[in-house]
Amino acid sequence: MEQPLHQWTPSIAPSGMAFLTSDRYGDWRGSLFVGALKFRLLVRLALDGERVVREQRMLESLGARIRDVRQGPDGLLYVATDAADGQILRVDPA
């Protein structure tokens, strides 16, 4: 068994995840984005090869469980929230 490259204690209850391959967000290219059900946020993991060098927590103010994360054909990130009135939201570059 291989040890994980990154883990959360307590668990964030990771859901969908996506590697960003587009240049739409500047230096975020190559980052891994992970949805979190338990803590209701989106996590960006900045990578150096296979090593996590930074963790950034985002979208906490939404207060929504992030069920899935995808990069669209337009190069932008989209997240799906997990609720009866769930939404698909686009993460716009700053």
Look at residue 89 in the predicted model and tell me its pLDDT.
Answer: 96
Residues 14 and 46: their CA atoms lie apart, in Å, by 16
Q: What is the pTM of this model?
A: 0.93
Look at residue 51 in the predicted model and tell me its pLDDT.
Answer: 93
Q: What is the mean pLDDT of each run of 10 residues along the chain (94 residues)?
A: 92 96 96 97 96 96 96 98 92 90
Look at residue 37 in the predicted model and tell me its pLDDT.
Answer: 97
Look at residue 83 in the predicted model and tell me its pLDDT.
Answer: 86
> Phi, psi (5° rounding) for residue 64?
-115, 140
